[in-house]
């Protein structure tokens, strides 16, 4: 079988299925479910047939460049695909589990009000997963990475009339965005490392790789650490482990397909895909072994004291993935792949039967209390403290909030004087000064010219923080996000080789999305009260507006539905290696923008409806 046809078929099936599912009626449950599991079954059939042919022909890795989306003198954004043992293993895993879970969901979600929405999102998730495992370079992988994050948010918030699923969806999405920082900065450093958009096969070529690492060992270690940051965030490793049980607020089938099997192992996939890049970096390998072992130990003891079966399974899976990370660190690739397959199928099975287990075990839980053993007072005190600490999940959730989000909220809430009316005037002043300096750059002192990009990027970062922490005006928050992108674009224009075409690529989608979003919010304000101080649930009465506004939020965050996604990667190609502060605040701004946009969508359209004539769901435990 031709490799190109196989990849096109495997990727094209979920895309075609997703597009068809959008036009099917929500009342046609049978058609929606048949479409979903037929898509997965055809994918499974394809991967089995191709794997047999591939093995018979020598099992040689195949990489091919699909299309060059944008090319300039020093930059090439191209879609690249790679087929090897790792790809086919994860393709088999994804296709087989998606097939089984979609059949299960056909009956489990029967007559559920969000039946169509569930299968839409599963097919959308399948698109992102397939793109990741077939990606041949970081840019292609990041497309699937973003799709995975958004579909995860939508599935956790599936019961959108309840407050806790929506809050947990935002919490999980915030951790995913932290992982995005690692991917973005790793792409930037790899561009300077190879002076081109490198593919995974080129990255793994031993001779070339050793030459680059010998010259830039510190940069190589930093890139490997960024890979771990992204992998740990996606696979719920320390210090991000607490998000996985929160993600179980979605339906049981989505918990199985996302957080028991496929999505939670993508971090391990990233480490395996980049294995040859960091396998000779001993400091990183020691750190990876230590982090995996610590995660395995802590997640195991936390799982033993959980009061819900889903949380027990979640932390048990986290512990096993910690061990998988250790196996990857030792270079045991085949063992790690077998471990991933075993863990994924086991956790999927456990999650699918978890509703039944509750009823089976309730009598044992109530009536079969084990006898207490006599222990010394010192040992008993230690065990009690250990038990309480595990009940609190080692304060991982509070620790992450205190270290990362609390300082940002403190910074953003200090700008109380900046109301909606003043935002435009302030931004006009900053842009006016920036453009004046840009067109008179020749008369500036070299020190001033070198610091201007950082100044405008940092100013944009503060605007993003203010948008993220805004509790009043929705339109102000949306406008600040747009102004943040404009500030970043202005800042990078002071760097070399930045022309007007790059502004167009970066800002075209951003400005269009803001204009549509501003129009929708202004129209809604004529009949509804909208703010960011609560969850208003307007999706009940404005489902079409809510869907369009979701697309607006994705466009503002640089999701791959607008040219701005390419523009984000393009602007990083103009940041020099010695401008790490500039790169960090640019990446952090883009991450916070994504959080701020999804926060706006969640608070305006999700949650219990503000009007008391709609049903209000009880708060979850």
453 to each of 88, 319, 397, 441, 580, how far by Cα in Å?
A: 44, 43, 35, 12, 12
Six-digit token string for 296: 């395995």
Q: Does residue 259 surpass a pLDDT of 90?
A: no
DSSP H or E segment with residue 411: helix 406-412
Torsions phi, psi of 112, nearest 5? -70, 140
- Residues near 483 by beta carbon (within 8 Å), at least 6 away in sequence: 423, 427, 460, 463
pTM metric for this prediction: 0.91
- Residues near 177 by beta carbon (within 8 Å), at least 6 away in sequence: 149, 591, 592, 594, 595
Higher pLDDT, 415 or 510: 510
> Which range (358-362, 389-393, 432-436, 506-510) has the least confidence?
358-362
Higher pLDDT, 117 or 418: 117
452 to each of 189, 396, 433, 455, 572, how far by Cα in Å?
A: 22, 38, 11, 5, 16
Whole-number Å distance between alpha carbons of 187 and 223: 9
H helix and E strand count, the chain? 26, 2
Collapse the DSSP code of 175 into the 3-class scheme (helix H, G, I; strand E, B; otherwise coil) and give the result: helix
In this predicted structure, what is the pLDDT of residue 366?
A: 53
In this predicted structure, what is the pLDDT of residue 320?
A: 93
In this predicted structure, what is the pLDDT of residue 91?
A: 94
* Tens of pLDDT, residues 474-488: 988 898 899 889 888
Average pLDDT, the chain: 84
Q: Does residue 508 surpass a pLDDT of 50?
A: yes
* Tens of pLDDT, residues 277-313: 888 888 899 999 999 999 999 999 888 888 788 888 8
Q: Does residue 13 surpass a pLDDT of 60?
A: yes
Collapse the DSSP code of 370 into the 3-class scheme (helix H, G, I; strand E, B; otherwise coil) and give the result: coil
**564 touches 558 (CB < 8 A):** yes
Six-digit token string for 118: 């569930």
DSSP H or E segment with residue 281: none
Helix axes 474-492, 420-439, angle to 10 degrees: 10
* Tens of pLDDT, residues 603-617: 999 988 877 666 666
- Residues near 12 by beta carbon (within 8 Å), at least 6 away in sequence: none
Six-digit token string for 25: 């009626």
- Residues near 156 by beta carbon (within 8 Å), at least 6 away in sequence: 165, 168, 169, 172, 246, 247, 249, 250, 254
Q: Which residue has the tokens 């959008």?
A: 22
Six-digit token string for 515: 């204009």
**476 touches 423 (CB < 8 A):** yes
Whole-number Å distance between alpha carbons of 53 and 1: 7
In this predicted structure, what is the pLDDT of residue 621?
A: 46
**95 touches 43 (CB < 8 A):** yes
Q: What is the mean pLDDT of residues 167-177?
A: 89
> Would you list the DSSP string of 211-274?
HHHHH-HHHHHHHHHHHHHHHHHHTT-TTSTTHHHHGGGS-HHHIIIIIIISGGGHHHHHHHHT
Q: What is the mean pLDDT of residues 516-522?
A: 93
Q: Does residue 265 surpass a pLDDT of 80?
A: yes
Distance of CA 134 to the CA centre of its chain: 17
In this predicted structure, what is the pLDDT of residue 566?
A: 84
Higher pLDDT, 297 or 378: 297
**256 touches 109 (CB < 8 A):** no
Higher pLDDT, 213 or 602: 602
Collapse the DSSP code of 145 into the 3-class scheme (helix H, G, I; strand E, B; otherwise coil) and give the result: helix
Torsion angle of alpha carbons 56, 62, 66, 70, nearest 10°?
170
Q: What is the mean pLDDT of residues 164-187?
A: 89
- The number of CA neighbours under 13 Å toward the Cβ of 498 is 23
Q: What is the mean pLDDT of residues 359-382?
A: 63
> Would you list the DSSP string of 35-98?
HHHHHHHHHHHHHHHHHHHHHHTT---EEEEEEEEEE-SS-EEEEEEEESHHHHHHHHHHHHHH
Distance of CA 6 to the CA centre of its chain: 27
Higher pLDDT, 367 or 590: 590
Q: Does residue 392 surpass a pLDDT of 60?
A: yes
In this predicted structure, what is the pLDDT of residue 1?
A: 65
- Per the document, the length of the chain is 621
Whole-number Å distance between alpha carbons of 425 and 401: 33
């Amino acid at each position: 079988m031709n490799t190109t046809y196989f990849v096109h078929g495997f990727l094209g099936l979920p895309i075609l299925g997703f597009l068809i599912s959008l036009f099917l009626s929500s009342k046609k449950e049978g058609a929606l479910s048949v479409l979903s599991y037929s898509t997965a079954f055809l994918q499974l059939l394809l991967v089995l047939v191709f794997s047999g042919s591939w093995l018979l022909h020598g099992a040689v890795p195949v990489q091919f460049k699909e299309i060059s989306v944008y090319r300039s003198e020093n930059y090439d954004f191209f879609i690249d695909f790679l087929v090897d043992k790792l790809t086919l293993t994860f393709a088999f895993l994804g296709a087989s589990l998606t097939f089984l879970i979609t059949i299960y969901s056909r009956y489990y979600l029967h007559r559920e009000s969000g039946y169509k929405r569930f299968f839409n999102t599963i097919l959308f998730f399948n698109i992102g997963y397939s793109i990741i495992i077939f990606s041949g370079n970081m840019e292609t992988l990041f497309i699937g990475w973003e799709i995975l994050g958004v579909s995860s948010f939508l599935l956790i918030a599936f019961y959108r009339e309840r407050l806790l699923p929506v809050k947990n969806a935002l919490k999980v999405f915030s951790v995913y965005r932290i992982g995005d920082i690692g991917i973005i900065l790793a792409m930037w450093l790899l561009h300077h490392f190879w002076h081109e958009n490198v593919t995974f096969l080129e990255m793994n070529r031993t001779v070339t790789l050793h030459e680059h690492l010998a010259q830039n060992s510190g940069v190589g270690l930093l890139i490997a650490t960024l890979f771990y940051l992204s992998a740990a965030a996606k696979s719920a490793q320390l210090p991000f482990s607490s998000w996985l049980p929160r993600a179980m607020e979605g339906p049981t089938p989505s918990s199985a397909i996302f957080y028991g099997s496929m999505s939670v192992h993508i971090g391990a996939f990233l480490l395996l895909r980049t294995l040859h890049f960091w396998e000779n970096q001993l400091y990183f390998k020691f750190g990876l072994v230590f982090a995996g072992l610590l995660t395995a130990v802590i997640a195991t003891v936390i799982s033993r004291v959980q009061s819900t079966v889903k949380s027990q399974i979640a932390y048990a899976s986290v512990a096993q993935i910690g061990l998988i990370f250790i196996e990857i660190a030792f270079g045991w690739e085949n063992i790690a792949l077998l471990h991933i397959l075993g863990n994924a199928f086991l956790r999927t099975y456990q999650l699918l039967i978890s509703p039944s287990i509750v009823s089976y075990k309730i009598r044992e839980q109530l009536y079969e209390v084990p006898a207490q053993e006599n222990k010394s007072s010192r040992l008993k005190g230690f065990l009690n403290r250990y038990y309480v600490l595990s009940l609190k999940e080692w304060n991982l959730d509070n620790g992450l909030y205190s270290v990362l989000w609390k300082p940002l909220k403190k910074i953003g809430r200090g700008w109380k004087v900046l109301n909606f009316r003043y935002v435009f005037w302030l931004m006009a002043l900053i842009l006016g000064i920036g453009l004046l300096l840009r067109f008179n750059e020749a008369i500036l002192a070299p020190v001033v010219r070198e610091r201007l990009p950082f100044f405008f990027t940092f100013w944009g970062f503060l605007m993003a923080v203010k948008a993220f922490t805004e509790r009043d005006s929705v339109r102000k928050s949306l406008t600040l996000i747009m102004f943040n992108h404009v500030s970043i674009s202005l800042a990078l224009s002071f760097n070399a080789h930045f022309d007007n075409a790059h502004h167009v690529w970066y800002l075209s989608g951003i400005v269009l999305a803001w204009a549509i979003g501003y129009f929708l919010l202004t129209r809604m304000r004529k009949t509804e009260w909208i703010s960011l101080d609560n969850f208003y649930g307007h999706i009940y009465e404005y489902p079409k507006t809510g869907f369009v506004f979701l697309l607006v939020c994705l466009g503002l965050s640089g999701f791959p539905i607008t040219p701005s996604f390419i523009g984000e990667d393009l602007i990083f190609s103009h940041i020099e290696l010695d401008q790490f502060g500039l790169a960090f605040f640019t990446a952090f701004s883009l991450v916070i923008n994504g959080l701020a946009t999804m926060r706006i969508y969640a608070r305006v359209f999700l949650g219990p409806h503000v009007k008391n004539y709609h049903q209000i769901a009880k708060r979850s435990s």
